Structure formats: structure tokens, C-alpha cells
Amino acid sequence: MELTRKTILITGASSGLGRALAVELSKRDNALVVTARREPLLRELEREVLANGSRCLVGAADATDTEASRGVVQEAVTRFGTLDVAIINAGGSSAQRMGTISAEEVLATMRTNFDTLVNFLCPLIDHMRERGGTIAYTGSPAGTFGLPKSGPYSAAKAAGRVLLDSCRIELAHTPIRFVALYPGFTYTEGLDTDEVPVKSLIIEKERAVREMLWAIERGRAHHMFPRRIRWPIALGRVVGEPVRRAILGLVDRPARGASRR
């Protein structure tokens, strides 16, 4: 599948990877449905999409709101007749350490990164069950196992990964393809580079967009990138939990010492 002359929904499109994906796809004669909370930023994006020769529908909505999310999907279908591809991209988090944050903060992170998936995933499945389509989800390598300063975010992304695995099994008889994307650290507005222990792990936004679109076009079930972050994650799976926990504890020790001072 080539991502040209398609109708594509992108959530979290007002900034970061969502916006970058929309701009790139707008150069390929697509009809784009862009949604996020901040309508003024979406209107700026709309002007750029139209200038690049694609059509655009702005759906300002909070992706943590079930009815608002369903409404965006319905409006898109009404306007364009169908949705060929959806990239569920809304989410994000800052560093959070268990024992220093409240239950409300943990749940807020879960809503931002899991509810925002579910609220679009379910109506999209309903729409694509018979006619087909591709649903892509922006997860994270952090969703593979628990990481220091990332517990709620890791838990939310792990939940999204497992949910899509279930979709692949239960909806295997339908023409829907599910693509899970796991970009590593990427230079976007939401990245705090001070929280990245190895700066060489960070990639440019344009590289991330190329990787994501490549995986969607090929229908990859899972795509984690770049390789230099894929291998440490794979190693973490192999060594077993006790060893992995000990290694991550050593990485976290300076931060724990600083927090006690």
C-alpha cells in the first residue's frame, strides 16, 4: 500500500510527530483528517496541508473524551466517505517517579496515553470491519517493560501494545491491518533531552516520520526504531527480569541519590 490518494486520520496532529506526519502526507495528494485539542494549531496545519495540494478536515477534540473522539470519526466518514488509514498518535508524558506522584497523576498519564488510543480504536474498528483499512498506533519502546521515571507511561504503552495484539487475533478474519510503531527518543517539542541518558539515542523528527510511514505502507505488525535502541530492548528481554532490574537500578541510582538531597 502506498500512502497516496488515501483518506488518513491523524490524532495528536497539532504538534510533534503527529504534525510532522500530516505535513509529509499532505505532499502525497491525500485527504487528511487532523485532530487534537488545540484548534488554532490545527488551523495553521490545515493551511499548510491545503498549500501542499491535499484536502483537510480539522476535528478539534479531546482524545480522552469518548464521545468527542467518536464524533471526529463520524464527521470524517461523512465528509470523505471512508477512512483508509488511521494513525493514533496522541499521548506523551514527563518524567514521573513512583512514590513521589499521586494516584491522580498516574491515572492522568494513563488517560493521556491509553484512553486516547481506545477512544479512537473502537469506532475505527466498527468503520473498517467490513471495508478494511489500516490502524497504526504510536507506542513506545518504554512499553516493553518498566523503566525508571517512566512507570505510568510505560504501563500505558504496554497496555496499548497488548490491546493491539488482541485485536490482531480477534479480528484476523477482517480486512483490518494493525501496525504498532515504537519510535525511540525523537527531537520534538515534548522531549526533555536532560532526561535522555545517552544523547546519541535521539533521532531527528524527519527520520522518525520516514520509519513510521515505511512500516505503515508495508503493514508491519511491529516496528521499533532506531536499531540502536532496538538492540538494548531485545537484550533486556533475553537477560531475564532479575538481571534487567539490577541493571536499571544502577542506571537509576544517581537520580535516586539526587532526589534524597
pLDDT of residue 244: 79
Q: What is the DSSP string of the chain?
A: --SSS-EEEEESTTSHHHHHHHHHHGGGS-EEEEEES-HHHHHHHHHHHHHTT-EEEEEE--TT-HHHHHHHHHHHHHHHS--SEEEE-------B-TTTS-HHHHHHHHIIIIIHHHHHHHHHHHHHHHH-EEEEEE--GGGSS--TTBHHHHHHHHHHHHHHHHHHHHTTTSSEEEEEEEE-SB-STT--GGG-S-GGG-B-HHHHHHHHHHHHHHT-SEEEE-HHHHHHHHHHHHS-HHHHHHHHHHHHHHHHHHHH-
Q: What is the Cα gyration radius of the chain?
A: 18
Residue 247 CA to residue 4 CA, distance in Å, equals 45
pLDDT of residue 92: 84
Q: Are 112 and 91 a contacting pair, CB within 8 Å?
A: yes
pLDDT tens, N- to C-terminus, the chain (261 residues): 899 999 999 999 999 999 999 999 999 999 999 999 999 999 999 999 999 999 999 999 999 999 999 999 999 999 999 999 999 999 887 888 999 999 999 999 999 999 999 999 999 999 999 999 999 999 998 898 888 888 999 999 999 999 999 999 999 999 999 999 998 766 466 656 555 555 556 667 788 899 999 999 999 999 999 888 787 888 888 888 888 788 778 877 655 544 443
pLDDT of residue 258: 47
pLDDT of residue 167: 98
Active-site residue numbers?
153
**Structural domains of the chain ordered from first start:** 7-230 (3.40.50.720)
pLDDT of residue 196: 54
Candidates 253, 244, 251; CA nearest to 146 is 244
